[in-house]
Chain A
């Protein structure tokens, strides 16, 4: 299964990854992060992740630390 690993402690809630994911698999979480805003989480119940790493490349804070492509 392709997937990503997000380090919430590094997330600054800019939400650029939410817009960039072609499958819309990143969403706001229920946790408040360092910027006093909701951090993001990966939600892929249907195994749609492409393992494309677009999210990790657009994240300015390297909060998306790993992308595994198992396709």
Chain B
């Protein structure tokens, strides 16, 4: 019996252009598997953002709109409301980096959650701005050395990192908010369940559903893919607990 094959929602013969060992590829595979399992490929619209996450549209075989940096949830809001106004039950989700979702786009993201927009947002937390070369992002942890915090992130000077899944859970319009990780098989399976739940909440129309994914960026962290996963397991998941924070 075939127990694994390339998901139907992944474009035939596409190439993943992420760096070797980057968890973006695993995250997109999980999204594709969930879309296949829920049988929603023909009515799903993806909103890609600026950052490495934009490469989603090269590989995921669903309609896609590229949003300006940080505006994924605003674009998704418009698309979902337009579908609903026309009696269509299309599924709309965003796929955004942490810089995109929680820094430049924080207002759009949080107000979409507060308004209870019936969309799903997936945020890849790799604790830096990946595509532009590893600058400090809103999620860079204290003491983290990046190209723009060469002495390490300092709370006196740079402030504290944002706990996105916890913040989104505090919004009354949020029906589901979870943080997951991808550093081993068990976490990958749990991440897939959370992504599936987030889509199911949207299908039920219960409000804003959100999954933050702790993800590796071996290139900018200057670590091997294996050591990047060790960093997530030993360091990041202590600061950013892997947990469901809200489930209505």
Contacts and interface: CB of A to CB of B under 8 A. Distances in A.
A27 B188 CA distance: 22
Contact of A16 (B2, B16, B18, B225): B225
Interface residues of A, number: 27
A13 B21 CA distance: 8
A66 B25 contact: no
B24 A60 contact: yes
Interface stretch (B3-11, B94-102, B145-153): B3-11
Interface string A20-37: 100000000000000100
B117 interface: no
Interface residues of B, number: 26
B4 A60 contact: no
Interface centre among B5, B10, B24 (most CB of A within 10 A): B5
A26 to B, nearest CB: 14
Given A13-B20, A16-B225, A35-B20, A60 B1 contact: no
Given A62-B6, A66-B5, A12 B21 contact: yes
Nearest to A13: B20
Contact of A68 (B3, B6, B15, B16): B3
Interface of A: 10, 12-16, 19-20, 35, 51-54, 56-62, 64-70
